[in-house]
Each structure stands twice: as C-alpha cells, then as structure tokens.
Chain A
Amino acid sequence: MASLRFLLSLVLVMVAALVQTSVFHSIRPFGASPDVVLLMVVVGAIWLKPEVAVLLGFLGGLLLDMLGSAPLGLSGLAFTVGAYVTVRSRDRFNYGLPVGVMTVGGITLVMLVTNALIGTLFGEGTLGNPDIIRTLLLVPMYNMVLALGFLPLADWLFSSVAGPRHTWSRSRL
C-alpha cells in the first residue's frame, strides 16, 4: 500500500509539473499562477510516511528545476522544506477542510520564502524582485482556492486506490 501511495503521489506530481509549466505559462491572473506541484506534494505528504514524503518533495522540486533553468536543486530544496513542514503539521488536516486549506496556504508561503531566500543566497536575487510581495501573497491564495477542491478529491482518490489512511491522519477531510 505504501508503494502504491508513493506511486500515485509521484504521478500526481509529474502531471502537476506538466500543467505548471505549460497551462500556467499562459494563465497568470495578476501576474502570478498557483504552484500546483507544491499542492500535489502537500497532498501526497499527508498520506505518505515522513521520509517518503520528504523524498517526494525533493523529486517534485528537482523536476521543476530540470524543466526550467534555475540551479538544479533550488526548488528541490525548497520543496523538501515544504514537504517537511507538511509532515510536521499534517495533524491540522484532521480539523476539517477550512483548517486544511489554511495550512496549505501557510505551507506554500513557507516554501516560497525558502525558495526566495535560497535563490538570493545563490545569486538569483529573488528577494530583490519588485514583484516578490505580490507573488508571496497571490500564490498561497491561489493554492488555497485550488486546495478547496483538491484536498477532498485527493482524500477520495487515495482512499479508494490505496486504502484507508494511517492512524496519525485518520479523520476524513
């Protein structure tokens, strides 16, 4: 079951990477787009063992790095942090959909700030971007809107494909 969950998470992350780089290059309301790869990492990390969840985050970020031209591992590291924060805070997903959605927003913000900080340290100058505040505000909001639909959908998908959740995250969203 664990491997099936990981496989399902990996497929979701890969599809999300494809959607992120192709669909959301033309759909950018107010100059920003949701980070669907991170959303899928969060969704997968809720269901996976902590070590596997962190690995999923790293692979998702690395895939995005490979499809762009940022230093390899920049997003990988940021998404790993995002997956780690998800693992540490996944109890909150048991308190119902509103709390889960807000948690997704918080995790997205943490990941973006991490990405910007590391990018700045490695010469990308991300924190100096004039649009960074807008990005830091809009992307978590977009992810929260998407999470409204994706969290229950993922709950249903993982339950039906890979069985019930572990005891540490038993409540349904």
Chain B
Amino acid sequence: MTLDIRASRGGLGADLRNTAQVVVAPLQAAVNAVVTPVVSFSDGLSNLAGLREENQRLRNRIESLEREAAQVGHLEAQVSELETLLALRLGEDLYQLAVSAEVTARGGTLDPTLTINRGTGDGVHPGQPVVDGQGALIGLVSEASEAGANVIPITSRRAPAVTVRLPDGQRGVVTGQGAGALELSILEASDPVEGGELLVTYGPYGDSNAYPKDLDVGIVAEAAVPQFGIISVRVEPMGDLERLEYVAVIPWPSAPSPQLGDGEFPGLSEVGAGSADRGGETDAGT
C-alpha cells in the first residue's frame, strides 16, 4: 500500500490494476446484462408501491420550491438564464465530443469509485470530468485502461477540489466530504450565502482550468454568513451517485498531459496550479 501511494498510483500497481480491470470488465458487463433488467423490473414494482409516498414527497418539494421562488425575486430570470446557458452549452463542440458511457461497476464497500465501460480506446483519459445525464458534474476520471476507466466522485475526499462560482459572482472551493456530501469554503467572503444557490464550475478562465465553465456542481444546503471572512457550508451535489447508470466524459483535456507521469492524477495538480497548457486546450476545445 505504501509502495502504491509513493508511486503516485503508477508503476506496477497501476499495471496490475489495469490488467485486472481489463480481464474483469467483460465479465462485469455480462453480469450487468443479466442483472440490470431484473433490477429495473423490481425497481418498477417498488416504485409502484411507493407511488403515494413519492407523490407526497414531490408535493412537499413543490411547496418548498414555491417558497424559495417567493424569497428570491430573480429566480425566474435566473432559471431562464440557466436554461439558455444549458442550451448553449449543449451546442458547444466540447459537449458534442463528450463520450457517453455506462456505469458498470462500483468499488468495495468503502470505496466510492465508479467504473465505466469506456477507456483510452474511446478517448477517455485521466483527469477528464464526468457529468450525468443532466449535465451535472459527478466526478473525474482517475485511471483509464483500454476498455474501461475509474471515476472518482467529487463527493470523495480523494477527488480534487472544484473551484465554483456563486450566482452573485463570489468564488469558492467545493471539496468532497465522503459519501454523498460536499462542502463549500469561501475565503475572504464579502456577502452571505443563501440556501438553494446553485454552484457552477468557475473555469476555464481565471485561476481554475481544471474543469470546463458552468458545469452544475451542487446546491447550497443552508444559509451561511461570513465568520472572520470565511464561509463554510454544506452543499448537496446535483448528481445522484446512488442511481447513476449512464454518464458522459468530457474530453477536457482531450489527451493526457505529456509532462505527467504514468498513472499520475492530473486533476490533483491542476486545481491549485491552473496550468497554462489547459488554456491552449480551451481554445482548441471550444
């Protein structure tokens, strides 16, 4: 384990991991082909049974949203703006190049890693962001073999921090806190943060090039005011990692950076550094 950590996930450890995943991937796909329809069927049955509860939950959710709409006068304008952004984003070349993939496996009991059925052969490389069907950021490719790749969810403590922008233009950093939880930290905060505010990725321009611009990251769970100029508040991730079946990998960057060693996790080094190389990628990508 120490050897693996000191080798930065490269070398013999990475080779062993890649080999194991190449061997097991077809078996996992075969098992999934059998199990997924059964699970979907049972999910459907359980959904029928829980329809009333779900209906009540949705009603409560609507009431909550209506209250939020009343509190925030500009919400409609913001929604309209976000919808426009979403439509624009989907039209960009970068998103047209996104590689769709199926989540075929998950790590061990305490390992949040997701495995997808697309790898370097499909243009998937370590460091590339992964989004769900709604375009929300769910993680980053940590390792990729020829036919598959591992994805570290942003909720994992192993995932690199995400620089985000708030609706009022403030910038903060979102870090994973473990299963299903994120935390927003704003240093030198000037204004309070309201619950329900949408956080989007800050890049690619400015100080953070690790992610494309305006990917949905999460929603601020509760209001918070600066204490000694610092805000630290819980964030609900946008992506539902528990029920994730299909994802898209954004070619960002389109190929591994040449100066990184084998198996090195690019996202980890790029968050703080904001590599100039990505600037070139930005121009090419968009």
Contact = CB atoms under 8 A, between A and B. Distances in A.
B23 to A, nearest CB: 10
Interface in A116-151: 116, 119, 122-126, 128-132, 135, 139
Nearest to B114: A25
B106 A25 contact: yes
A69 B110 contact: no
Contacts of B32: 22, 26
Contacts of B82: none
Given A128-B177, A129-B177, A70 B28 contact: no
Given A67-B115, A72-B16, A124-B157, A129 B178 contact: yes
Contacts of A28: 242
A54 interface: no
Contacts of B114: 25
Sorting the interface of chain A by its residue count into under 10, 10 to 19, 20 to 34 or 35 or more gives: 35 or more
A21 B105 contact: yes
Contacts of A63: 20
A20 B104 CA distance: 11
B103 interface: yes
Sorting the interface of chain B by its residue count into under 10, 10 to 19, 20 to 34 or 35 or more gives: 35 or more
Q: Could you tell me the dominant secondary structure of chain B's interface residues?
A: mixed
A1 B59 CA distance: 63
A20 B113 CA distance: 13
B27 interface: yes
A69 B108 contact: no
Given A66-B21, A115-B110, A131 B1 contact: no
Interface stretch (A5-13, A32-40, A99-107): A32-40
Chain B CB within 10 Å — which of A35, A75, A77, A112 has the most?
A75
Interface string B247-267: 000000000000000000000
Chain B CB within 10 Å — which of A65, A68, A77 has the most?
A68
B14 to A, nearest CB: 9
Given A123-B157, A125-B178, A130-B178, A68 B107 contact: yes
A25 B179 contact: no
Given A66-B20, A70-B111, A75-B108, A22 B31 contact: yes
A122 B107 CA distance: 17
Given A25-B105, A69-B150, 13 more contacts: A17-B24, A20-B108, A21-B115, A25-B104, A26-B36, A31-B180, A68-B108, A70-B111, A72-B17, A77-B1, A124-B110, A131-B178, A131-B179
